[in-house]
Amino acid sequence: MYDFDFVTPASLAEAAAALEDPEAMALGGGQTLIPTLRARLAMPSKLVSLAGLAEIRGICEDDDGRLCIGGATTHGAIARDAAERFSGLAGLAQRIGDPAVRNRGTLGGSVANNDPAACYPAAILATGATVVTHRREIAAGDFFQGMFTTALDEGEIVTEVRFPVPRRSAYQKFEQPASRFALVGVFVAEMADGAVGVGVTGAAEEGGFRWEAAEAALAARFDPAALEGLSHPAEGLISDIHGDAAYRAHLIGVMTRRAVAAAA
């Protein structure tokens, strides 16, 4: 690991100030960044720890009934504390990594990293959630901009994600068993107004996306049978040692049907 200064800010304002330095990087729970640093794939001069910032941790509801989850909230806390209000999201968080990863890794860290096989993008896209930073609010559709790329500017901190709570939802993940990332993951959400969101992760080079043909079919009838005859094209999907594009396209259909059947 290259050397760096470790900074523990006492407040979000202090963290934002420390991240004005272009050589500085934000550290969430470190479950991706620390292994990356150890592999010498990143060389920040300064690491700014966000994990201890109480003001961006925890879960609450806003006036519109949206579930607002702080960026420094761990996957484990989401699995436990969102279970009653948003079981689909809690179920997603419960299957990220392993227990030790869930005790450290954070929502904000995962979202800011935008790994193309990370789980949260599927839920954020399916529900039309809003990513909030210390500077602005960014709609789900504008936030994710391709593999490991987001709308975030340098030094911008994800303080919160606001999720409209669906009437019913579920996430189904076909795991790549060695990494436990999604080979294909699908989040299905039937929203309060009857609209349906289908968010897919792990399948495409550019990261998470919505499967709009399935959304239309499920809005007409929220039943796995509504997807009969519908398949996702293989074009543009990832082909690698774990599965080719046709296999991933097939999995998108299977995971979507399972998610609809499991939705609660």
Partner 1 sequence: MGEIAMTVNGKEVAAEAEDRTLLVEFLREGLGLTGTHLGCDTSQCGACLVHVDGALVKSCAMFAAEAAGREVTTIEGMAGKDGTLSPVQAAFRDQHGLQCGFCTPGMVMATAALLQEDPAPDVPRIRAYLQGNICRCTGYHNIVRAVLQASGQDPDRALAAE
Residue type, 129: A
How big is the CA angle at 149 (ends 28 and 9), to the nearest 5 degrees?
25
Which lies closer to partner 1 via its Cβ, residue 77 or residue 112? 77
Which lies closer to partner 1 via its Cβ, residue 74 or residue 150? 74
Cα–Cα distance between 29 and 57 in angstroms, integer? 12
Token pair 């992760």: residue? 201
Which lies closer to partner 1 via its Cβ, residue 76 or residue 207? 76
Residues at the contact surface with partner 1, assessed by CB under 8 A: 1-6, 8, 30-31, 34-35, 37-39, 47, 49, 51, 76, 97-101, 103-104, 178-180
Which lies closer to partner 1 via its Cβ, residue 13 or residue 100? 100
- Report the nearest approach of partner 1 to the CB of residue 131 (Å): 25
- Report the nearest approach of partner 1 to the CB of residue 42 (Å): 12
Token pair 């909030």: residue? 132
91, 108, 107: which is closest to 187 by C-alpha? 91
Which lies closer to partner 1 via its Cβ, residue 44 or residue 208? 44
How big is the CA angle at 129 (ends 224 and 50), to the nearest 5 degrees?
125
- Report the nearest approach of partner 1 to the CB of residue 59 (Å): 18
Cα–Cα distance between 202 and 200 in angstroms, integer? 7
125, 122, 120: which is closest to 138 by C-alpha? 125
141, 150, 148: which is closest to 116 by C-alpha? 148
Cα–Cα distance between 38 and 127 in angstroms, integer? 35
Which lies closer to partner 1 via its Cβ, residue 31 or residue 114? 31
Give every CB contact of residue 258 below 8 A, 6+ residues apart in sequence: 170, 172, 186, 224
Task: Count the Cβ atoms, other than its own, within 10 Å of residue 38.
Answer: 10
Render the burial of 146-155: b for 16+ CB within 10 Å, e for the rest.
eeeebebeeb
- Report the nearest approach of partner 1 to the CB of residue 124 (Å): 24
- Report the nearest approach of partner 1 to the CB of residue 94 (Å): 10
Strands 5-7 and 46-49, by their bridges, are parallel
- Report the nearest approach of partner 1 to the CB of residue 212 (Å): 34
- Report the nearest approach of partner 1 to the CB of residue 195 (Å): 34
Which lies closer to partner 1 via its Cβ, residue 6 or residue 63? 6
